[in-house]
Chains A and B, each alone.
Chain A
Amino acid sequence: MSLQEELIGPPPAKLIVENVSKWFRTTRQTVHALDNVSLNIGEGEFVCLVGPSGCGKSTLLDIISGLETPDEGVVMADNEPVLNPGRHRLVMFQESALFPWLDVTGNVMFGLKLKPGLTNKERLEIAKFFIQLVGLEKFSAAHVHELSGGMKQRVALARALAPNPRVLLMDEPFAALDALTREQLYSDIQRIWQKRRKTIVFVTHNVREAVCLADCVILFSRNPGRIREQFDIRLPRPRDINSVELAEHSGEITRALKGHSAGEVSDS
């Protein structure tokens, strides 16, 4: 693959989640994290999983990434069952999970070095390209602890994008950031996503964030974790998190979320 092709990348993948269930058993109790969850995510679609904490949305993300295996059901990525983690589906975690023993370039290179078929010169060029894409070219030799929280997540984004995965999985990546930094990252991520189409699954408990980013918001409820409702968001992009239309959509979803939580209480 030439460098140019490498930078354009393979087409995004289609994800199918089929009847996935998961239990977590400890000596004291068993938690039914996911109950018969099925989901179709199209190629290049941006999907947000939203729900109260403990609804299994992060667990589902782990299963899609291959870090966890489902007790029942299967996840298919482009008609291949997901059995292990693989570099076609990269993950961005809530904490940046950057490696402190490497500098920014070293971190972005980490996944690239595991990718065959590239020379080291090409890898370095790709790393530079993505560091520039997230706007950190001045910090390419910085140590991790010298970066702010927002910068760390940018590096984590560059690290996840650099090996050119077909799917990007994001587990509350902006939850620990301040509001201003977050807003900047919302526009960054939309810009980058439009430039480099990936299938994105994004977990959050922030409804506004979900509406701002997603084509489709999927609402989870807990005990056991189930899909409650699905909302298609057909707002033009780029979206501004403070816009009125966006607020209307998120209001609707928030009401649905509260309704389910209330129902949950009366059910039990």
Chain B
Amino acid sequence: MKRTLLATIFFLVLLVIWSVIVQAKIWSPILLPSPQSVGEYLLGAARDGTLLQATGVTVRRLVVGYLIGIAIGLPLGLLTSAWKFVEDTIGVLALGLQTLPSVCWIPLALLWFGQTESAMLFVVVMGTVWSVVIATDTGVRNIPPIFARAARTMGSSGLHKWTKVILPASLPYLVSGMKQGWAFAWRSLMAAEIYVTILTGFGLGHLLHYGRELHAMDQVIGVMLVIVLIGLLTDKILFAPIERFLHQRWGTGLR
């Protein structure tokens, strides 16, 4: 309760500071709109449905791209950790491509797929998959060898070893890898939405982009707030319970 109160006060103070700076008229209101005008934009956009629709479009792209990224990345990561040959080929490829900012995929995606949903999806998948591969690979390699030895003596091998020992043992790493993958997917999608103009769906990135074109700073800041909020919510709703479960089981993260 006390924590919630302190956090609330913190954010209220931020708002007050923002208001005070606007009141002081250091910058033109076109560059720094007041919290009220951003609030009014958000309220208006929420009422006429643009915000909800854009959020829906964006989240759908995000979830689909992310899931595809995990579905490809997780098995690939397991393979790179298990076989030297895959490590030397796919592993090196993943390491290289992971360092490539996902924005760099956009020109290629545009030429290959045109201004379509596929281009968007491609960028998100490419942004997600390599970091998931690396995280999975790291996770499996960090399993204490004693677990594998103990499992072997009890007769665990092959598929049983992978599903009952290696996967659960690397779970803490897999979850942080998935979290990282989520962040990468989110970033890639925003880059894609800002740079790829398409007619099949108007996402948050587009709203942000057109806010700039129209010099509507209240819209730019409003949409940014929504993006931050979605990031926070997924962390609290999706990942926090999993991490809590892991901390309980492993006895980690205690204060």
Contact = CB atoms under 8 A, between A and B. Distances in A.
B160 interface: yes
A163 B154 contact: yes
B152 interface: yes
Nearest to A88: B155
Given A100-B251, A101-B171, A87 B154 contact: yes
B154 to A, nearest CB: 4
Given A65-B153, A86-B153, 14 more contacts: A85-B155, A87-B154, A87-B155, A90-B153, A90-B154, A91-B149, A91-B150, A99-B147, A99-B169, A111-B154, A114-B155, A143-B248, A145-B249, A146-B251
B86 interface: no
A97 interface: yes
Contacts of A143: 248-249, 251
A95 interface: yes
A124 interface: no
Interface of B: 146-147, 149-156, 160, 164-165, 168-169, 171, 248-251
Secondary structure at chain B's binding surface: helix, strand, loop or mixed? helix
Contacts of A101: 168-169, 171, 249-250
B140 to A, nearest CB: 14
A247 interface: no
A95 B155 CA distance: 19
A67 interface: yes
Contact of B168 (A90, A99, A115, A144): A99
The range of chain A's interface size is 20 to 34
A78 B166 CA distance: 32
Contacts of A100: 249-251
A91 B251 contact: no
Interface in A58-72: 65-67
Contacts of B152: 67, 85
A67 B249 contact: no
A93 B48 CA distance: 66
A89 B154 CA distance: 8
A110 interface: yes
Interface of A: 65-67, 85-87, 89-91, 93, 95, 97, 99-102, 110-111, 114-115, 143-146, 159, 163
22 contacts: A65-B153, A67-B149, A67-B152, A67-B153, A85-B155, A87-B153, A89-B153, A90-B153, A93-B146, A97-B147, A99-B147, A110-B154, A111-B154, A114-B154, A114-B155, A114-B156, A114-B160, A143-B248, A143-B251, A145-B249, A145-B250, A163-B154
Best-surrounded residue of B147, B150, B160, B248 (most CB of chain A within 10 A): B150
A86 B155 contact: yes
A97 B155 contact: no
A85 B168 CA distance: 22
B167 to A, nearest CB: 9
A233 to B, nearest CB: 27
A91 B248 contact: no
Nearest to B165: A99
A209 to B, nearest CB: 22
A91 B153 CA distance: 7
A85 B153 contact: yes
A58 B134 CA distance: 35
Contacts of B165: 99
Best-surrounded residue of B154, B165, B250 (most CB of chain A within 10 A): B154
A265 to B, nearest CB: 34
Across the A-B interface, give the 8 residue pairs with the lowest CB-CB distance, nearest first: A145-B251, A111-B154, A97-B150, A101-B168, A87-B155, A114-B155, A97-B146, A85-B153
A14 to B, nearest CB: 19
Nearest to B254: A145
